[in-house]
Structure 1
Amino acid sequence: MTYKAIIFDLDGTLVNSIEDLADAMNSVLKNKNYPTHNYEAYKHFVGSGIRSLVIKALPETQRVEAQIKNCFDQMISIYSKQCTNKTKPYDGIIDLLNQLKARNLKLSVLSNKADELTKKITLALFPDYFSPVLGLKQEALKKPNPVVALQICNQLNVKPEETIYVGDTAIDMQTANNSNMLAVGVPWGFRDKKELIESNAKHILNHPLDLIKLL
């Protein structure tokens, strides 16, 4: 198979964003005198969007809609101001993107992070590599729903089977498989190889440049 396009997840795949996410949510929790969480815990809170992260971070007794909305709004307000404070590309990602660009591959980003924040971070750290860059606009279209991934293929004028989807979580592998794309997992992010394999990853990369071997 000749691959023409690659869709990347953002958090845990292209960038390590866990500290900025955790710092922002912990600020919300501190303001309410709720227990905070360490960075390792937040690795298991991410993947399904910021609203889901807020729910998981809140004490179980506080997971009611009014409180979730209030904390979500606070989280977005804080995080939007500091979402690139500590967030950086993983080692090898820029080298990979330069090689992919040299091969004239079409590159896109699809994240469950809010669309505005996805665009802000991607533009700040990768200004010349990706189009389109899409985050979450409607909860119903959140990954692993394949609708937006397939829309990206249409926009890029490629078939799903000509597309590689790269991500670090079970949700990403499910998105790829639901879309009939090649599911490629990365273990340097927020989950481990076991989760990726159990979620039907077709390939696991140990280093970003390993993706070149698939081409």
Structure 2
Amino acid sequence: MLPFRAVIFDLDGTLADTLDDIADAVNHALACHALPLHSRDVYREIVGEGVTRLVERALPSDRQHLAESVREELGRYYVDHMLDRTEPYPEVPELLDRLTERGVPMAILSNKPETATRWMVDRLFGGWPFTAVAGGADGVPLKPDPAAVLAIARAIGVEPARCVYLGDTRTDMETAVAAGMLPAGAAWGFRDRDELLAYGARVILERPLDLLPILDGDT
């Protein structure tokens, strides 16, 4: 029996490079309010904890009262521009093919809002059999709270200790640790190796296909 029997993925920065479209959407919303814009590198550091936290971090400290209005404009823009420049990372389609061939259960858990998560996954990854796809939803705590990822493990029917959680941020590593899953860091994503290791990554993958030996017990 293989040591790990299921894989749960983060979405942004792990399966798909979404950073340009996120940056464009937030900057559009900021511009609509005559606020300073940010570079792609700034967004690389502030994404990952959900849209509310993203907007808080993007706003100047003396403009936090505009957060709700900025979030609303961001949402209106993003729904129409979500895939302008977003695409799967290299090797991700091949990895999903290989996992499907092996019969490995797969799921996705994102802090992106639920509707946007499902819409994006349907269009970019609809050809693969994900057992569960979940994003941020009312009444469900965001990562790093482990409640949602543990619910996915139950839905898959695999105990947490036999699941790999693959993500690219501190939030993802904290989620995996709290859930008792294997925290695997995606070095191709938004954050660097030092952050992933500092927050609990037990393995760092340099490329998506490096996941396959992990499933065979090579950790």
The alpha-carbon deviation at position 131 of structure 1 amounts to 2.4
Structure 1 position 180 matched with structure 2 position 184:
no
1:76 deviates by 0.7
Structure 1 counterpart of 2:23:
22
Q: Which runs of 5+ in 1 are unaligned?
A: none
Secondary structure, in 3 states, of the residue corresponding to 2:4? coil
Provide the C-alpha distance between the structure 2 equivalents of 1:27 and 1:179, rounded to a whole number of angstroms. 36
Task: Name the residue aligned to 1:124.
Answer: 123
The CA deviation at 1:139 is 6.8
Query: 1-side partners of 2:170 and 2:68: how far apart?
Result: 26
Secondary structure of the 2:208 match is coil
Specify whether residues 139 and 87 from structure 1 end up closer, same or farther in structure 2 by C-alpha distance, changes over 3 A only. Answer: farther
Q: How does 1:62-101 map to 2 (within 5 A)?
A: 62-64=63-65, 67-101=66-100
One-letter amino acid of the counterpart of residue 119, structure 1: R
The equivalent residue for 1:145 is 145
Matches of 1:107 and 1:158, distance apart in 2: 11
Q: Helix, strand or coil for the counterpart of 2:46? A: coil
123-132 vs 156-165, which moves further: 123-132
Give the stretch that moved more between structures: 129-138 or 105-114.
129-138
Corresponding letter in the other structure for 2:49: S
Deviation at residue 50 of structure 1 after TM alignment:
1.1
Residue 34 of structure 2 aligns with an amino acid whose one-letter code is N
Query: Which portions of structure 1, spanning 4 or more consecutive aligned residues, are displaced by more than 3 angstroms?
Result: none
CA RMSD in angstroms comes to 1.1
2:187 partner amino acid: P
Report deviation, 1:49: 0.7
Stretches of structure 2 that go unaligned for 5 or more consecutive residues are none
Q: Distance in 2 between matches of 1:2 and 1:140?
A: 29
Percentage identity across paired residues of the two chains: 36
TM-score, normalization by structure 2: 0.95
1:60 is displaced (CA, Å) by 1.3
> Offset at 1:45?
1.4
**Take 2:53 and 2:79, find their aligned partners in 1: how far apart are those partners?**
17
Q: Which amino acid is the alignment partner of residue 47 of structure 1?
A: G
Who is 1:60 aligned against? Answer: 61
3-state SS of 1:117 partner:
helix
Checking the alignment, whether the CA contact within 8 Å between 2:144 and 2:172 is kept in structure 1 is yes
Distance 1:136 1:151, change over 3 A: same
Q: CA deviation at 1:138?
A: 3.2
Which amino acid is 2:64 matched to? R
Summarize deviations over 1:58-112 as a string: whole Å, max 9, x none: 1111012xx1111111101110111111110111111111001110000000000
The letter of the residue matching 2:204 is I
Structure 1 residue 205: deviation in Å?
Answer: 0.2
